[in-house]
Amino acid sequence: MTEQLRMMAVHAHPDDESSKGAATMAKYVSEGVDVLVATCTGGERGDILNPKLQGDPYIEEHIHEVRKKEMDEAREILGVKQEWLGFVDSGLPEGDPLPPLPEGCFALQDVEAAAEPLVKLIRSFKPQVITTYDENGGYPHPDHIMTHKISMVAFEAAGDASKYPDAGEPYQPLKLYYNQGFNRPRTVALHEALLERGMESPYGEWLERWKSFERAERTLTTYIPCADYFEIRDKALIAHATQIDPDGGWFRVPMEIQKEVWPTEEYELAKSLVDTSLPEDDLFAGIRNN
């Protein structure tokens, strides 16, 4: 295939692109693939999760601007392009019963209407491959679930001239994937590798919580070898300073163990308009030589 390869990663908030599939994106950038991150919301209602920054009045008052600057830094580290879809963070409702979502937030938008800016971006950028979240959002955050919904509508509608006539010339992406990096096999493998080496594992509580989820195992179809880019992934994640504690659980597994035990990032092929054989080791399988 002589045409430029292009990949679009659709994410709910700034920082999601650095915690889900970041090493994959960095790998493809290094190979000359044009990679664009579409960020649905500004992360305005995200908590400050880094204990070193909690209580900072400037950050609390200007969280939207701060998170935008963090996204700029992460984008530069990963070498990707990035666009904002312009929706407002819904926050993560907590409590029993759950409180209502805030008026005007992303998760309360009409799905068909909210898909239009994504359709416009797809038609403009023309990615052959799109990555997004599964119907559970990866985890049940309302913005992640809404990201899934608009991604599915946009994938189908982008190539249909009768849909969204004001959003540009029709263009049909060829493959759509769900990010599945937080999967049980990977977590178990890293957990057991740490215990075998007499080290403490940060995944014990994760695995216990997993037992309480009434959720079927996902089908992992695509394993991208990207261990050489794990350091870039971590650097991009740390750039989201309000959202990640550099001394926290994300970084407790030594890099050499990660690379040895689980050197890939995983995806679930949800839609494909090209022939491919599973399992894959390339998101562009079936596209490169067609």
Residue list, annotated binding site for Zn(2+): 13, 16, 144
For residue 262, what are the contacts with CB-CB under 8 A and spacing of at least 6? 186, 189, 190
* Contact status, residue 145 vs residue 190, Cβ threshold 8 Å: no
Q: Distance between CA 276 and CA 259 in Å, rounded? A: 27
Q: How far is CA 200 from CA 89, 148, 184, 194, in A?
A: 35, 35, 18, 6
Rg (CA), the chain: 19
Q: What are phi and psi of 280, to 5 degrees?
A: -110, 160
Beta strands 6-11 and 34-41 are: parallel
In the annotated binding site, the residues are 13, 16, 144
